[in-house]
Structure 1
Amino acid sequence: MTQFDQQQLAAEAWFRSLRDRITAEFETLEDEGESLPALTNAPAAPGRFVYTPWERTDHSGAPGGGGTMGVMKGRVFEKVGVNISTVHGQFNPEFAKSIPGADQDPRFFATGISLVAHMANPHVPAVHMNTRFLVTSKRWFGGGADLNPALPHEEDTAFFKQAFEQACDRHDPAHWPKFSAWCDEYFYVPHRKRMRGVGGIFYDWLNVEKEGDFDRNFDFTRDVGETFLTTFPAIVRRRMGLPWTEEDRLALLRYRGLYAEFNLVYDRGTTFGLKTGGNIDAILMSLPPEARWD
């Protein structure tokens, strides 16, 4: 049995507990939206998460950890996935060249949570959030959260960004200018010459090499999760009862095409999952249930 150190166990436990709290809150939103008009293919009852455990085999053939895919298809959430995973083993030699600290030693450990929600009401923005802890010969945290509305409401964008700016400022005043700009840069779709969404934060390589680094950067990563949990459900409650038209629905489906293009072509998390033998359904959980390109 693989033995993990205290930092690895602490990060894994936090991501699991955050998953449990987020999914409980999302199911509560489903209950609150039970009487709202729903899509024709929506379930009659409020949605509930279905959890599917999975295991992976390292490229050498050895057991390499796994995770749990959680997916809910409901009346408020047309499709939402909240996944956790803890994987380990060795990178294949070619992929190791692209990972900090793995070029000389291909052994790795990675644990994290990944979430994408595609909403039924076009006025409720889609959202993405993930946080993770990786170990090679180096150790670091990464993650972020970004809002992806088909029909943007400036009030929602300002509320979301302000909350994450305040979260950043609680830890380091330099975080927000750097991580918000990094989000805009990372979620840019070059072939469309536009951003995927309206922004948020994105960070990576928060190293934990020095004494105190782990606690400091783990505190920040936890705050990212807590901030998401207080902001996105509030936006859902604000918008999920708004009336919408077929034109609004069409705008949503066309926007989802842009979201799918980014995740399939540019997203590093998709690449990491596929290159490390992760569960394909869990990796592609981020794709919308329906989209249009016309």
Structure 2
Amino acid sequence: MITKEQIVDDYQSIQDEICTALEILDGKAKFEQELWQREGGGGGRTRVIQNGNIVEKGGVNFSAVDGQLPEAIKKSLKIYQDDFFAAGVSIVIHPNHPLVPIIHMNIRYFEMPSTFGGMKEPVRWFGGGIDLTPHYVFEDDAKFFHSSLKATCDKYNSGFYDRFKKWADDYFFIKHRNETRGVGGIFYDRLTATEETSWDDIFEFSKAVGRSFAPIYTELVNRHKSEPFTADQQQWQYQRRSRYAEFNLVYDAGTKFGLETNGRIESILMSLPPTAKWLYNYQPATGSEEEKTLSLLKKDINWA
């Protein structure tokens, strides 16, 4: 049986691997680490990188927390036990280059004790995903990104990609803007063992999603980091960042969970961009790359 200790060790290793890869990719900035303890139980390692050659602000966070769930979280999760354990790795990278995309990744494990007929059985599941938010949507990049995710999913279950891609399209949707946050990716929650997929398989899948991050993002960054850009393109980047901030503050379940469970505020809000702009009623020029990007921020595009 997979243990909490094994999950913690492997997730911490993935955090280490990703931080090393990002420092190599950026070539200048180094991660700063803060160790923290959560009042109520557990803690984590917050690692932030900023003001680099490529990364303006980014974070690769690990946490393993436990204690008692607030009533609001129990109601939202439709569970009624008090004690919980949760561990995960969460990443958001905001580049300084408007042609390089924002990227987000999260892998997590959740467990609660539950008593059935005097026997103690844990209620547990894995969740996570990875999604891409380009300031400018390049169709070749979106196809590469989704094809890579599909290959990762297919190693574990041939139905994962289609199911989790639709889940991401629906989840990363900014309802009040009627647009997706980016070109999607995969998203899943409450993933448990079945006759087809064992707990070991799900854990290995979770780690594979985590380890897909570095090679995928390295490829995307290297495609665009040397391309010139204009002040107008950077203005558009700040405009698109504002949509990212809106989603994370209004809809993101991880943000809500962290705030409701008395998480560390700096770690929770690490996902917000360093600079964003809300230009009143901004309308891109007809036929522009900005207009094209908006036309591709839709659900159900078959990128793979």
Structure 1 length-normalised TM? 0.88
1:30 match: 26
- Alignment partner of 1:218 is 2:200: no
Pick the aligned partner of 1:278 from 257, 263, 266. 263
> 1:50 maps to what in 2?
32
Which residue does 1:71 correspond to in 2? 48
Output the CA distance in 1 between the equivalents of 2:75 and 2:68.
Answer: 12
Query: In 2, Cα distance between the equivalents of 1:238 and 1:124?
Result: 8
Match of residue 296 from structure 2: none
Choose 186-195 or 130-139, whichever is displaced more. Answer: 130-139
CA shift at 1:94, angstroms? 3.2
Equivalent residue, structure 2, for 1:21: 17
Q: Which of 95, 100, 113 is matched with 1:119 structurally?
A: 95
After TM superposition, what 4+ stretches of structure 1 lie above 6 angstroms from structure 2? 209-212
Which piece of structure 1 moves more, 146-155 or 254-263?
Answer: 146-155
Greater displacement, 147-156 / 212-221:
212-221
- Cα deviation code 1:118-160 (max 9, x no counterpart): 0011010000000001001411000000000011111111101
Q: Alpha-carbon deviation of 1:111?
A: 0.2
Structure 2 length normalisation: TM-score?
Answer: 0.86
Matched, 1:207 2:185: no
| Aligned counterpart, 1:247 | 232
- Cα distance in 2 for partners of 1:51, 1:156 equals 31
Residue pairs, 1:102-141, within 5 angstroms = 102-103=79-80, 105-136=81-112, 137=114, 138-141=123-126
The separation in 2 between residues aligned to 1:22 and 1:120, in whole angstroms, is 19
For residues 93-124 of structure 1, the C-alpha deviation after alignment (integer angstroms, 9 at most, x for no partner) is 33212225x31x11100000000000011010
Distance (whole Å) between structure 1 residues aligned to residue 129 and residue 240 of structure 2: 21
CA contact (8 A) 1:110 1:133 kept: yes
Task: Please point out which of 153, 169, 175 is paired with 1:184.
Answer: 169
Residues 53-108 of structure 1 show CA distances to partners (whole Å, capped at 9, x for unaligned) of 111112xxxxx1011111011121000100000000110233212225x31x1110
User: Deviations 1:159-214 (Å, cap 9, x if unpaired)?
Assistant: 01000011111111111110000000000000000000111100111114889732
Residue of 125, 144, 168 corresponding to 2:153: 168
Task: Letter of the 1:82 partner, please give it.
Answer: V
Match of 1:12 among 8, 12, 19: 8
- SS of equivalent residue, structure 2 residue 26: helix
Measure, in 2, the Cα distance between the counterparts of 1:177 and 1:246.
38
CA distance in structure 1 between the aligned counterparts of 2:147 and 2:98, rounded to whole angstroms: 23
Can you list the C-alpha shifts for 1:216-263, whole angstroms capped at 9, x where unaligned?
100111111122222111111111111100011001000000000000
Structure 1, unaligned stretches of length 5 or more? 32-45, 59-63
Output one character per residue of 1:28-50: Cα deviation in whole Å (capped at 9) or x when no partner: 0121xxxxxxxxxxxxxx11100
Change (3 A) 1:230 1:150: same
Distance verdict in 2 for CA 1:12–1:209, change over 3 Å = farther
Farther off after superposition, 212-221 or 110-119: 212-221
Distance in 1 between residues matched to 2:196 and 2:188, nearest whole Å? 21
SS at match of 1:200: strand
Letter in 2 for 1:30: D
Letter in 2 for 1:116: V
SS of 1:98 mapped into structure 2: helix
Instruction: Identify the residue that residue 77 of structure 2 maps to in structure 1.
Output: 99
1:228-243 matches, cutoff 5 A: 228-243=213-228
Change (3 A) 1:208 1:108: farther
- The alignment partner of 1:66 has SS state of strand
Letter in 2 for 1:127: I
**SS in structure 1 of the partner of residue 38 of structure 2:** strand
Conservation of the 8 A alpha-carbon contact between 1:114 and 1:131: yes
- Structure 2 gaps of 5+ residues are 115-122, 280-304
Q: Which residue of 2 aligns with 1:293?
A: 278
**Higher alpha-carbon deviation: 67-76 or 222-231:** 222-231
- Among all aligned residue pairs of Structure 1 and Structure 2, give the percentage whose two residues are the same amino acid: 41
